[in-house]
Amino acid sequence: MAAADDRAACDVRVQRWFAASRELRGAPSVRSLAVSADQWRRAAEDFAAAQGRLLAVWAAPHGGERITVRAALATERELLVIELSPLSPLSPLSPQGGDYPGLQDLFPAANRMQRAAADLYGARSSDTDRRPWLRHDEDGAYAFVPVEGDGVHEIPVGPVHAGIIEPGHFRFAVVGEKVLRLEERLGYAHKGIERRFTELSMHEGHRLAARVSGDSAVAYSWAFAQALEGLAGVEIPPRAAWLRALCLELERIANHLGDLGGLGNDAGFAFGLTQFSRLKEHLLRATARAFGQRYLLDALVPGGMRHDLPPPAAPAIDQCVRAIAREAATLRQIYDEHSGLRGRFVDAGVVPAPLAAQLGLTGLAGRASGQAYDLRIDMPCFPYGELKVRKCGHGAGDVAARVAVRFDELFESCRLVRSIVEGLPGGAVRAACGAPPADELGLGLIEGWRGPVLLALVGGPAGGIRHCHPHDPSWQNWPVLEHAIIDNIVPDFPLINKSFNLSYSGHDL
């Protein structure tokens, strides 16, 4: 890269990352670099030029009123965290104005991450969009971008919705029923997650991590444990790692089953909802018998697993996923051949591959738009390197493609569950995990069912948490939904929205 010499001159501090030596066995290197404001910008430019992706931007307290801003950047062979500190709020360091150079022009998804950092810690980027994102107590109305022209009308939807979904405001600009623009206003579920972490010990934090976004409990609790274990220099027993993978794939299957039923229902096919809900219930009951919880909020703990898998549970899980795969294959044929569903799915909510790449669409939705990136394959943590995961993808980028990827990943996860159960090694399921040293940064990175879940963890004194930033892939994908609805009709929004099924809670820290 062009700035390699500059980086070499930086204060390079290679921390005890989970990825540095153990879990990413032979996968990309991970580096942490303390940079100047100029080097911050040049590093981001280099990654953008190399078609790298922005995983997250976040801020953290540095002591007193000082602030550190970090960004995680990735290519296929490298993961880099750049760190700019200490900043003093409202004391401009960037020649463009603001406390640090903004990255929105390089990575559009950075916009809301930077605005959230300003709301939480006062660190403002040089980008011109200074509207609040997580704070809703400001005076006056939120400044939605106006759309003008003959016949243009605005339709406000939410933040309170008719169903049981979480709050979000959607402002549609339409001509007739055709959508010209959608702008989202989120942050209504803001609940002080980062502050709450600092009130817990390192060994309590995994329970809160699992509840950042409940449908991704395993992904978040694994990412937290991964970061903590890396800082503490703990290698978990192989059986524990295999059981974590089992839990993660069960979580993935459950969410895909729920979404496939919901997508059928949103397209007027209640039969699909009934059948997939039945299959999901079978899976949740099998999960509860195996791990004591339908949703695995407390199964993973620092050092491994809370409980071992009881001997009768393994064949029961195997039997369950085999039955699910058989019935899902029949249901897929019905979905593929049902003219009403095809009429609603095909060419609805299209995100072309070039736009997906430009906007940083990630995870399942990205793979349906030609963005073939899956951490289980591209940055495999143990035991995924041994499981030889098959990557699923599609190029059409419409609702039909996102449905197809869900089906493909459902079948692949069923296969992985069977492989894990059959190849599960013996031994202990938990290792002792002491408190890590204070003020070092650890990173967890797990491919959840929705996409990459990143968690950055800084230890505090006496085994406490100085800072913890959990990052959901919905940060990248919510802005893309605004583009997916353009030129579609308003009644198709619930279907298109469901095809992404993004997290409000994981976004509202």
**Helix ranges, 17-93 (H):** 37-49
- Give the residue from 103, 85, 296, 132 showing the smallest Cα distance to 209: 296
The two tokens of residue 152 are 């243009």
Examine the pLDDT at 114 and tell me if it is beyond 50.
yes
Examine the pLDDT at 384 and tell me if it is beyond 70.
yes
Average pLDDT rounded to a whole number, residues 365-387: 94
pLDDT at 286: 97
pLDDT at 30: 67
pLDDT at 97: 57
Percent of the chain with pLDDT over 70: 91
pLDDT at 10: 36
Examine the pLDDT at 164 and tell me if it is beyond 80.
no
Cα separation, 208 vs 190, whole angstroms: 15
Examine the pLDDT at 94 and tell me if it is beyond 90.
no
Contacts of 251 (CB under 8 A, 6+ apart): 215, 216, 217, 218, 219, 296, 448, 449
pLDDT at 435: 85
Question: How do the residues of the chain divide into helix, strand and coil, expressed in percent and rounded to 5?
Answer: 40, 20, 40
The two tokens of residue 172 are 């549609």
pLDDT at 111: 97
- To the nearest 10 degrees (0 to 180), the angle between helices 313-337 and 270-291 is 170
305: left (phi over 0), alpha (psi -120 to 50) or beta: beta
pLDDT at 434: 87
Confidence of residue 509 (pLDDT cuts 50, 70, 90): confident
pLDDT at 403: 98
397 vs 36, 165, 438, 496, CA distance in Å? 39, 25, 45, 11
Q: How many CB atoms lie within 10 A of CB 427?
A: 11
Average pLDDT rounded to a whole number, residues 300-326: 96
pLDDT at 3: 41
Amino acid at 189: A
- Give the residue from 253, 226, 219, 207 showing the smallest Cα distance to 23: 226
Examine the pLDDT at 237 and tell me if it is beyond 50.
yes
Cα separation, 369 vs 499, whole angstroms: 12
Percent of the chain with pLDDT over 90: 78
Confidence of residue 88 (pLDDT cuts 50, 70, 90): low
CB contact burial 305-341 (16+ within 10 A = b; e otherwise) = bbebbeeebbeebbebbeebbeebeebbeebeebeeb
pLDDT at 31: 77
Contacts of 175 (CB under 8 A, 6+ apart): 149, 151, 152, 153
CB contact burial 251-263 (16+ within 10 A = b; e otherwise) = bbbbbbbbbbbbb
The two tokens of residue 164 are 């049981």
pLDDT at 136: 82
Confidence of residue 25 (pLDDT cuts 50, 70, 90): very low
- Give the residue from 204, 331, 356, 185 showing the smallest Cα distance to 272: 331
List pLDDT tens digits, range 181-230: 999 999 888 889 999 999 999 999 999 999 999 999 999 999 999 999 99
Q: Would you call 15 helix, strand, or coil by DSSP?
A: coil
Examine the pLDDT at 257 and tell me if it is beyond 70.
yes
Distance, CA of 206 to chain centre:
17
Cα separation, 109 vs 360, whole angstroms: 7
Confidence of residue 140 (pLDDT cuts 50, 70, 90): low
Bridge partners of 178? 175, 489
Confidence of residue 139 (pLDDT cuts 50, 70, 90): low
List pLDDT tens digits, range 403-451: 999 999 999 999 999 999 999 999 999 999 988 889 899 999 999 999 9
Average pLDDT rounded to a whole number, residues 77-104: 73
Examine the pLDDT at 28 and tell me if it is beyond 60.
no
Q: How many CB atoms lie within 10 A of CB 281?
A: 13
Cis peptide before 28 (omega within 30 of 0): no
Residue 443: φ, ψ to 5°: -130, 135
Structural domains of the chain ordered from first start: 4-121 (3.30.460.80), 193-473 (1.10.645.10)
pLDDT at 299: 96
Decide: residue 170, CB within 10 A, 0-12 exposed, 13-18 middle, 19+ buried: buried
Compute and round to an integer the Cα radius of gyration of the chain.
22
Confidence of residue 86 (pLDDT cuts 50, 70, 90): confident
Amino acid at 373: Y
Cα separation, 373 vs 488, whole angstroms: 27
List pLDDT tens digits, range 318-346: 999 999 999 999 999 999 999 999 999 99
Q: Across the chain, what does the average pLDDT equal? A: 90
Cα separation, 254 vs 337, whole angstroms: 24
The two tokens of residue 174 are 């339409």
List pLDDT tens digits, range 441-487: 999 999 999 999 999 999 999 999 999 999 999 999 999 999 999 99
Examine the pLDDT at 15 and tell me if it is beyond 50.
no
